[in-house]
Every structure is written in C-alpha cells, then in structure tokens.
C-alpha cells in the first residue's frame, strides 16, 4: 500500500514537472498554432480553446484532471486524440519489450548460473564470449545483420512491416541480445557471490546434493539483483525502442514520440512523457512487489 502511494506520487510529480516545463519554455503555443498573420481575436480564440488564458493554478488543476483521465488533447499534426495514438502503438511496443526481456532472461539466467557453478569451464567461456560480444555489438547493427541474413538471403522472416508475431522475432532478438549480455554478467557475478557465502557451507555440511546447494540455496538469493535489473530494463524498453523500430520499420511508441518531437507536437510529447513515466513507475512497483515476495528480509510488516 505504501508502495502504491509512492507510485501515485511519482506520477504526480512527473506530471507537475511536465506541466511546468511546457509553461516555462518561451513562446506562446497559441501564437505558434495561429501563425504569423493571425489577428489578435484569432489568437485569443485559440488561447481560450487551449485554456492558456486562465490563471496558472486553474491550468494546473485542469492539467492534473486531464492526466487522471488520460486525456492529453489532440495531436497538432494528425488531429487525433493523443491517448488514442499512444494506445494504438502500445501493444506493439509491449509485445516487443516482453519478447525481448523474456528472450534475454532465457539466455542469461541459465548460462549465467552454469558459468558461476562451473567457473572456467567451457560454458563459462561461452558465456563470457557471449556477454562481451553482446555488449560490444550495437543492436541496430545486429538488427541489420539479422535482416540481411534471415530476411533477404534466406527469407525466413519478413523484411519489414508489422501485424504478426513473425515480424517481431528479429527485432526482439536484436533488442534482447544486449540485455541478455548485461543480465548474464550480473547473474554470474551474483551467483558467484552467493556461492561464497557461509550458508552454502552449511548446506554442504548438511549433506545436500550439489544440485540442491546450487539451485535451491544459492540461486534463490542470487536472482534478487537480477530481477531488479531485468525490471528496469523492461521499463526502458516499454518507452519504445527508437533505433530498433527504425531499423525494422515498426510502428511502435519510440517512433511515435520521435516524430512528435520533430514536429513540435506538444500535446503528443506531453502525453508521451507522462505515459512513459507511468509505465516505468508501474513496472518498478511490480518489481518491488515481486522482490519482497522473494526476499523475506525486506518484507514490510
């Protein structure tokens, strides 16, 4: 409950910052919209429509109410409601992010654990090679490479477009590999640390099998930091993956916000920032809950 309060507070603070930033930026949006040769009454009319003729406090309350209703007005370029534009793009970004994180977890955790349990073995070297390469290779380059190989040369996956899960496989691989590299290193380091703890000696002294020592006793503790970082990575990815969306020409949130910035589409930018902030806070909130289920020491009473 306390954490839920914190979630609400975070969103409130971010909304306030967005509100202030927009008001602080020099220039009257009504002037921008109306153009250079608009009459004074036209500008007044636009101000009234935007609500910028009212006192700041009223505007602020109106803004919070809008945020609460998830209503950010209409996009300046397309004229469609901002919320509609965002929700239209969100499923794709969500699928891409979830696929990416699932893929990276599937690679990172088993390989990281084996690397830690059998240090300096064949699998450990494979893991090290993978994480070095995964961190060094830019994801857009990997994406282009995958496209050339699997879409152009062998035609296994579609070259661009969206609409089916097949379209998302290559993007999520390109997105997932880099995250996997980070998670792999983290898993290995965390597992190595746990295996050096005293309770592992106890577990061995109790005559438990190596499997129980590793996977029941050490792994549970080793996964805690991994879950936190995976959650944060998921949060980032939910804000849209601009580069990967560009490479694969996917209509995700990243490109939506990118074009909004190009075209000074203020309502869309505002809505986007608040939305991303909300999603990120929500993921953090969920990770916190998950974390406290796994880690009895931080469970609040």
3-state secondary structure of 81: strand
Q: Where are the alpha helices (DSSP H) in 118-218?
A: 122-136, 139-146, 166-195, 198-205, 210-211
3-state secondary structure of 193: helix
Would you mind telling me the total number of residues written for the chain in this entry?
A: 301
| Minimum distance from residue 191 beta carbon to other proteins (Å) | 14
Q: Which is nearer to other proteins, 179 or 217 (CB)?
A: 217
Q: Which is nearer to other proteins, 155 or 297 (CB)?
A: 297
- Sign of torsion, CA 285 287 290 296? negative
C-alpha Rg value of the chain to the nearest Å: 24
| Minimum distance from residue 107 beta carbon to other proteins (Å) | 25
Q: Which is nearer to other proteins, 3 or 299 (CB)?
A: 299
Task: For the segment 215-274, give every residue that binds other proteins (CB under 8 A).
Answer: 216-217, 220-221
Q: Which is nearer to other proteins, 145 or 201 (CB)?
A: 201
Adjacent-strand bridge partners of 74? 81
3-state secondary structure of 74: strand
Q: Which is nearer to other proteins, 6 or 204 (CB)?
A: 204
Q: Is 292 in the site for other proteins (CB under 8 A)?
A: no
Owner of token pair 């997105």: 175
**The binder of other proteins chosen from 32, 196, 202, 249 (CB under 8 A):** 202
Site string for other proteins, 206-225 (x = CB under 8 A): xxxx--x---xx--xx----
* Cα 231 to Cα 228: distance, rounded to the nearest angstrom: 5
| Minimum distance from residue 192 beta carbon to other proteins (Å) | 15
**Contact region for other proteins (CB under 8 A) — 134-142, 225-233, 241-249, 293-301?**
293-301
* Cα 18 to Cα 22: distance, rounded to the nearest angstrom: 6
Q: Is 166 in the site for other proteins (CB under 8 A)?
A: no
**The binder of other proteins chosen from 39, 120, 164, 198 (CB under 8 A):** 198
The DSSP string of 95-136 is HHHHHHHHHHHHHHHHHHHHHHHTTTSHHHHHHHHHHHHHHH
Q: Is 121 in the site for other proteins (CB under 8 A)?
A: no
* Of 235, 246, 229, 253, residue with least CA distance to 138: 246
By the 8 A CB rule, do 287 and 228 touch?
yes
| Minimum distance from residue 291 beta carbon to other proteins (Å) | 11
CB environment 69-103: b (16+ within 10 A), e (fewer): eeebbbbbeeeebbbebbeebbebbbbbbebbbeb
Q: Is 199 in the site for other proteins (CB under 8 A)?
A: yes
Q: Is 128 in the site for other proteins (CB under 8 A)?
A: no
Q: Is 290 in the site for other proteins (CB under 8 A)?
A: no
**Contact region for other proteins (CB under 8 A) — 109-117, 133-141, 258-266, 289-297?**
289-297
**The binder of other proteins chosen from 6, 54, 74, 204 (CB under 8 A):** 204
Q: Is 37 in the site for other proteins (CB under 8 A)?
A: no
Q: 166-195 and 82-117 helices cross at what angle (nearest 10)?
A: 40
Q: Is 98 in the site for other proteins (CB under 8 A)?
A: no
| Minimum distance from residue 241 beta carbon to other proteins (Å) | 34
Q: Which residues bind other proteins (CB under 8 A)?
A: 197-199, 201-209, 212, 216-217, 220-221, 294-297
């Amino acid at each position: 409950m306390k954490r839920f309060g914190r979630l609400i507070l975070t969103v409130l603070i971010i909304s306030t910052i967005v509100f202030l930033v927009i008001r602080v930026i020099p220039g009257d949006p009504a002037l921008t919209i109306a153009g250079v040769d608009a009459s004074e009454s036209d500008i007044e009319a636009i101000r009234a429509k935007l609500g910028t003729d009212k006192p700041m406090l009223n505007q602020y309350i109106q803004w919070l109410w809008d945020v609460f209703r998830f209503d950010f007005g209409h996009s300046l370029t397309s004229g469609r409601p901002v919320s509609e534009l965002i929700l239209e793009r969100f499923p794709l970004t969500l699928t891409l992010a979830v696929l990416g994180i699932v893929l990276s977890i599937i690679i990172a955790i088993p390989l990281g654990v084996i690397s830690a349990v059998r240090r300096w073995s064949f699998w450990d070297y494979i893991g090290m090679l993978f994480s070095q390469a995964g961190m060094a290779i830019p994801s857009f380059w990997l994406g282009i490479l995958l496209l050339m190989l699997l879409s152009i040369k062998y035609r296994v996956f579609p070259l661009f477009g969206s609409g089916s899960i097949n379209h998302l496989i290559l993007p999520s691989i390109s997105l997932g590999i880099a995250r996997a590299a980070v998670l792999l290193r983290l898993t290995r380091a965390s597992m190595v640390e746990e295996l050096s703890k005293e309770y592992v000696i106890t577990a061995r002294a109790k005559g438990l099998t190596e499997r129980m020592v590793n996977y029941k006793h050490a792994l549970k503790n080793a996964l805690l930091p991994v879950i936190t970082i995976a959650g944060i990575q998921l949060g980032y990815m939910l804000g849209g993956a601009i580069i990967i969306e560009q490479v694969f020409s996917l209509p995700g949130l990243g490109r939506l916000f990118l074009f909004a910035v190009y075209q000074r589409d203020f309502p869309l930018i505002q809505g986007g920032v608040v939305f991303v902030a909300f999603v990120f806070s929500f993921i953090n909130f969920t990770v916190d809950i998950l974390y406290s289920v796994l880690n009895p020491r931080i469970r609040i009473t």
